[in-house]
Structure 1
Amino acid sequence: MTTWISSTPQERLQVQHIDAAQVTSSQDLQLDGNSYQAIRGFGGCFNELGWLALQTVGEQERNQIIKELFDPEEMNFTFNRAPVGANDFADHWYSYDEVEGDYELKHFSVERDEQVLIPYIHAAQQWQPNMKLFASPWSPPTWMKRPKAYNYGRLVMTPENLKAYAQYFVKYIQAYAEHGIAVNQLHVQNEVFADQKFPSALWDAESMKVFIRDYLGPAFEAAGLDTDIWLGTLNGPEDMAFTGGYGMKLDNYNRYVDEILFDDDARKYIKGISYQWAGRAAIQRTHASWPEIELIQSESECGNGENTWEYAEYVFHLVNHYFRNGATAYTYWNMILDDQDSTWGWWQNSLFTITADTHEVRRNPEYYIMRHFSQYVKPGATVLGTTGHFNSMGIAFRNPDGSLVVVVQNALDHAMPFTFADPEHNEHSVQVTLEARSINTFVVD
């Protein structure tokens, strides 16, 4: 028996049960006998504005939203992200130590996070006690930068700064551990190529290599941390205002990665690479050149706040693209937002919208796209090789319990016949008609 879950612009998460079609082969989509990477799972980012919006609804509704996001029987977000200090969806900019010249970090404190981000994460842990978390900074403390501002600029590469900044991360991980939150991965800088109006910092390849090799890696070792260091998050190559010595062409972007990974002393500390935004253009090349390096997608492209079905269809293609090119996780960006303008002028899509005036809760189209994957594709599932005309619109996974999950889109404006075949197991086959503009998940137990 196969469970078929279907969503269209008009109806969402429609469930029915169908019998196997006994199809022995399919030109639409069929398994080719290959299996690839095991995935960590799906998640989103714990942003301040999401938690603050969530406080405007009643306790019962607030708990329901958290349940839908993190309950293993619902969205099942198991692999999530947190900012180290302020990001672009913080209520205002801050770091954990803004005392000029405090190289010993005597004034380091996560007191602000204790009011917003840590309660947000604790709420998720009620449903996901073994949740995995990766963290990344948007900006170092301003006194370590030139210019001394949260937005724009870069870390000043003095030994005193580099040593203190490495200890800044050690203290962050230790402080979160004291609150019962394990930071499993540190991704050294959000969007290394982007000089933004919100908290940001540029890192050229040489600076990143030196910091990881000579300061951050040794600091983690000396502190006995088991947090993995990741090269990321990488947001290039195209359409980015990176001016750190490499141009915006794809070949030069790949050179950035190679410059770091070919240094064995730096490479030994790097457990993976995270890509987002235009990094989608580089992931295939990196996966081919460095197949031993784990890759994840670290931030789904956010749209412009209109939350349309058309953009959700684009996100479906992003999920498909990243997993087909070696990624082991897909991370959404703003899980929850209100419907007001952002703190810096670009409002964005979210899974949930909570209207500021009426406190109405809306589940947006991307909520359903993510759920078509994350509810049914479990951590540890392997990506399966497929062939067929729907290959760019579908993907298959094998869950740890042996169940088969196929997620497929009909992007056309009319219904389409569709067959799926597992040549080794005819009882896994599917033969249906996909509704126009639909997303479909098939679960074969």
Structure 2
Amino acid sequence: MNQVDVTINVDTSNQYQRVYGYGGALTQSSAYLFSEMLKTNETFGMDVLKSLFDPNEGIGISMLRVPASSCDFSLYNYTYDDVVGDTALDHLSINIDLLYTIPIIKTIQQFNPNIRLIYTPWSAPTWMKSSDSLDYGTLNLNMYDVYTDFITKFITLYKEEQGIDIYAITIQNEPLFQPMTYPGMLVTSQVETSLVKLLGPKLKAANLSTEIFIYDHNWIDPEYPLDILSDEDAYPYVGATAFHCYQGDVSNQSVVYTKFPEKEIHMTECSGGAWAPNFSDNLVWASDNLYIGAMTNWASSMLQWNFALNTQSGPTNHGCLNCRGFITVDESTYQSIEYNVEYYGTAHYNKFISQPCFRIDSEIINNSQQPSSSCINSIAYSNSDGNSYHVVVVNSCSTIMNLQLNLVQENIYLTYSLPIGLTTFYF
């Protein structure tokens, strides 16, 4: 090899946060498409699901986000209780999820029984809101108690009726955004603080281990979760802060972590789409900001948006008309798919990490006089066995770079001609 351009020193003894892995969202639209594939050709459909969720035959996705009731990628609007005035929640039911979502979850669990589920509501039922609409408005003050009962009850039904444990619940998807065309609800940090203080004791009383994730919105406003965590009565019930990627900078995750390092950070949504058609550019941006960027800013998981959409970027419920999923399904046959950059990127970062794993130190040293050698990025993980390590290196330079990769504590020294793109090393 020629002179080394870049050295990466991986310190396997220096562990940072626990990492649960990478994933995406099983919206009703995605669950519907998976269901149609299985109905049309079960073998083909199972192979597609394996490619996503099976740790051995696929990329082993380990985190799953599920909308609790309808969202912008549903077949229509609904919640788990649309009977007006049912404050006793006698009519609350999760039967609508039996159409597509729950059967697909149970199939996924065949491949990965330990997959973690994060549920997120987009709106309370219309009759609990100021607007009498799913698409906008606020939660009525006299419904705070009813709505936290609503959340507790549907989590309980999932466990008792379906044997599905929900790992975490976020209080509200993008609480500072009112979509106007699909479900959404304005929830200030003060209101969310009140809801956390009501919901936390109810989950505990129901013997539910489900954690509460707060915020679940863009990087732009770290003060929102800080407001909640600063409330001494809400603080004990908060498991993590969740972020989205659409505004702001990923470094704001570290703003929250620095003040409350004992509370986890999770990156719960980011979608690709037709606005970003270049595969290599997407891969580099996602690596810098999501796959690596979110994790080096203390995320314990990183989830993208829809697992599956059709060739029309749907089915969509009056939301995004040009979003992209991990896979694109040909809805004319349900027997043909295209794997997108979201799939291949996640594969590099998720395939070889175990549960649990920990982020470890990965120091990049520029040995070259070429300015381009600064366009190297990397992340490293230590697996639960304590003897295997996973390193991903991104070369976004314009040429092959000569790499020296060192895991000194393990007596591993590797020289490698690093091609443009992503390279995964597993030791």
With normalisation by structure 1, the TM-score equals: 0.85
**C-alpha contact (below 8 Å) 1:138/1:189 kept by paired residues:** yes
**C-alpha contact (below 8 Å) 1:353/1:361 kept by paired residues:** yes
Q: Deviations over 1:199-228 (max 9, x none)?
A: 111111111111111x21222233222211
Matched, 1:170 2:152: yes
Partner Cα separation in structure 2 for residue 205 and residue 79 of structure 1: 26
Structure 1, unmatched stretches of 5+, are 1-20, 238-252
The equivalent residue for 1:348 is 323
Q: Deviations over 1:207-261 (max 9, x none)?
A: 1111111x21222233222211121312242xxxxxxxxxxxxxxx333222211
Partner Cα separation in structure 2 for residue 325 and residue 282 of structure 1: 8
**C-alpha contact (below 8 Å) 2:10/2:363 kept by paired residues:** yes
* 1:392 positional shift: 5.9
| Equivalent position SS for 1:113 | helix
User: Residues 23-62 of structure 1 correspond to what in structure 2 (within 5 A)?
Assistant: 27-32=6-11, 34-54=14-34, 55-56=36-37, 57-62=40-45
Taking a change above 3 Å as real, the CA distance of residues 392 and 435 of structure 1, as seen in their structure-2 partners, is closer
For 2:264, the aligned partner's letter is E
**C-alpha contact (below 8 Å) 2:375/2:397 kept by paired residues:** no
Matched, 1:399 2:375: no
Partner Cα separation in structure 1 for residue 240 and residue 349 of structure 2: 23
Match of residue 47, structure 2, among 64, 68, 72 = 64
The equivalent residue for 1:333 is 305
* 1:26 positional shift: 8.3
The equivalent residue for 1:291 is 261
Matched, 1:137 2:105: no
Partner Cα separation in structure 1 for residue 31 and residue 116 of structure 2: 19
* 1:303 positional shift: 2.9
Partner Cα separation in structure 2 for residue 52 and residue 256 of structure 1: 34
Partner Cα separation in structure 2 for residue 234 and residue 92 of structure 1: 23
Match of residue 188, structure 1, among 171, 181, 191 = 171
Structure 2, unmatched stretches of 5+, are 367-373
The equivalent residue for 2:188 is 204
Partner Cα separation in structure 2 for residue 288 and residue 391 of structure 1: 27
Matched, 1:380 2:356: yes
Partner Cα separation in structure 2 for residue 125 and residue 358 of structure 1: 26
Taking a change above 3 Å as real, the CA distance of residues 228 and 392 of structure 1, as seen in their structure-2 partners, is farther
Matched, 1:155 2:139: yes
* 1:332 positional shift: 2.2
* Greater mean deviation of Cα atoms: 163-172 or 215-224: 215-224
* Greater mean deviation of Cα atoms: 121-130 or 334-343: 334-343
| Equivalent position SS for 1:393 | strand
Match of residue 365, structure 1, among 322, 341, 352 = 341
Partner Cα separation in structure 2 for residue 381 and residue 341 of structure 1: 34
Partner Cα separation in structure 2 for residue 220 and residue 322 of structure 1: 29
* Greater mean deviation of Cα atoms: 63-72 or 190-199: 190-199
Partner Cα separation in structure 2 for residue 184 and residue 431 of structure 1: 41
For 1:316, the aligned partner's letter is S
Partner Cα separation in structure 2 for residue 93 and residue 305 of structure 1: 27
* 1:322 positional shift: 0.8
* 1:391 positional shift: 8.6
* 1:417 positional shift: 1.6
* 1:305 positional shift: 7.0
Partner Cα separation in structure 2 for residue 312 and residue 349 of structure 1: 14
**C-alpha contact (below 8 Å) 2:375/2:395 kept by paired residues:** no
* 1:307 positional shift: 5.3
With normalisation by structure 2, the TM-score equals: 0.89
**C-alpha contact (below 8 Å) 2:32/2:101 kept by paired residues:** no
Matched, 1:85 2:85: no
| Equivalent position SS for 1:112 | helix
Match of residue 312, structure 1, among 273, 278, 283 = 283
Partner Cα separation in structure 2 for residue 301 and residue 168 of structure 1: 29
* 1:361 positional shift: 1.2
* 1:341 positional shift: 4.2
The equivalent residue for 2:417 is 433
Q: Deviations over 1:22-75 (max 9, x none)?
A: x9x984311255221121122221111112223145111100011111111121
**C-alpha contact (below 8 Å) 1:49/1:89 kept by paired residues:** yes
* 1:98 positional shift: 1.2
- Indicate the RMSD between aligned Cα atoms, in angstroms: 2.1
The equivalent residue for 1:240 is none
